Amino acid sequence: MLPIIDLHCDTIHALHAGERSGNLGLSSNAHVDLRWMDGAGTVTTCFALFVDAHAHASPWSHANKLYERFQQELHASGSQIVQVLSPKEHLEGPMHQAILSVEELGILEGRLDRIAVLASWGVRLATITWNHENELGYPHHQRGDLKPFAYEVIEAMEHHKILVDVSHLNDAGFSSVAGFAKRPFIASHSNARAVTNHSRNLSDGMIEKIADAGGIIGLNFCPSFLSEDWGHSSIEAMVAHAMHIHQVGGSSVLALGSDFDGISGTLDVEHYPQLATLHEALLKAGLSTDTLGKMWYGNALRVLSEGF
């Protein structure tokens, strides 16, 4: 079985909010836990500290609570899931790996010094926005460019080796990131707009810019981003998006960004072991074993390891 790097899941939020029961170390009703990671071989998952900034009086305080929950969940795994502080540690041991990410930099509450705190926690990637306007910019369904604070944040993120993640960001903000970023930037969980015309998906021009910058795009399993059937995430639709992203951006831009525990509906790939079915389908569609190795882990490992 190929190693897996998943660039985005919302499992920590789902467990903390009570949307899922159990924990990472025991059987749960979540998409991600130790049972499913074991069944897939060696798995590295990016666990997002996701904060709906409109739902909390202090988004930063809630992010701190989620960080504490993340540490508790790793402990619950009996050290079978270990946090990766430098991605070069990946694949060097029998344990599964956890990488910390942030979804919604509105948690900064306008304070640039908190980027250093996130880096000290081991955060390796962070989205500029979620689905609300914040101090940095605007989400995919709203108009407006990056705000001045965003440029300071991007510089600080690159200094601290935190990848700029443009998933959820709108088109104008994307263009500004692409023109300003000095290091590779990524879309951790986004699909192709030419296949499914959703504002959360990437245009061909965006795919090209991420590829040209040396970045990666994580295939999102969310039904509404994959097809017009908002209740079903199908292998067929996943293949269509992956093949289009490959056609436009090449083999070095492909990655996985499941969005597990942040999505609903009937999923053909509901847990990591079922990725074997997607792998087989992509082989039949024409992707090589080398390209699939890049998509499953190689490209993400390359980008996450830069600077270490």
Residue 91 has pLDDT above 90, yes or no: no
**Per-residue pLDDT tens for 194-218?**
999 999 999 999 999 999 999 999 9
Mean pLDDT of 100-117: 98
To the question of pTM greater than 0.85 for the whole model, the response is yes
Residue 93 has pLDDT above 60, yes or no: no
Amino acid type, 175: S
pLDDT for res 90: 58
Residue 224 has pLDDT above 60, yes or no: yes
**Per-residue pLDDT tens for 243-262?**
999 999 999 999 999 999 99
Mean pLDDT of 127-138: 98
Beta strands in the chain (DSSP E): 4-9, 43-50, 81-83, 96-103, 123-127, 163-165, 217-219, 232-233, 254-256, 266-267
d(CA 224, CA 238): 12
To the nearest whole percent, how much of the chain has pLDDT over 70? 97
pLDDT for res 79: 87
Q: Are 303 and 254 in contact, with CB atoms under 8 Å apart? A: no
Q: Could you tell me which of 225, 218, 236, 234 has the C-alpha nearest to residue 266?
A: 234
d(CA 212, CA 174): 14
Q: Are 13 and 262 in contact, with CB atoms under 8 Å apart? A: yes
d(CA 85, CA 28): 26
- Residues with Cβ within 8 Å of residue 11, at least 6 apart in sequence: 20, 24, 30, 31, 32, 33, 45, 47, 73, 260, 261
d(CA 211, CA 54): 33
Residue 134 has pLDDT above 60, yes or no: yes
| Mean pLDDT rounded to a whole number for the chain | 96
3-state class of 303 per DSSP? helix
pLDDT for res 306: 83
pLDDT for res 254: 98
pLDDT for res 89: 62
**Per-residue pLDDT tens for 35-49?**
999 999 999 999 999
Q: Are 24 and 73 in contact, with CB atoms under 8 Å apart? A: yes
- Residues with Cβ within 8 Å of residue 230, at least 6 apart in sequence: 223, 224, 265
pLDDT for res 94: 62
How far is CA 181 from each of CA 133, 166, 186, rounded to the nearest angstrom?
A: 21, 11, 11
**Per-residue pLDDT tens for 161-182?**
999 999 999 999 999 999 999 9
Residue 222 has pLDDT above 90, yes or no: yes
pLDDT for res 304: 94
d(CA 97, CA 77): 11
User: Domain containing 85: what range?
Assistant: 4-305
Mean pLDDT of 284-303: 97
> What is the domain count for the chain?
1
pLDDT for res 85: 83
- For position 43, which CATH number holds? 3.20.20.140
pLDDT for res 170: 98
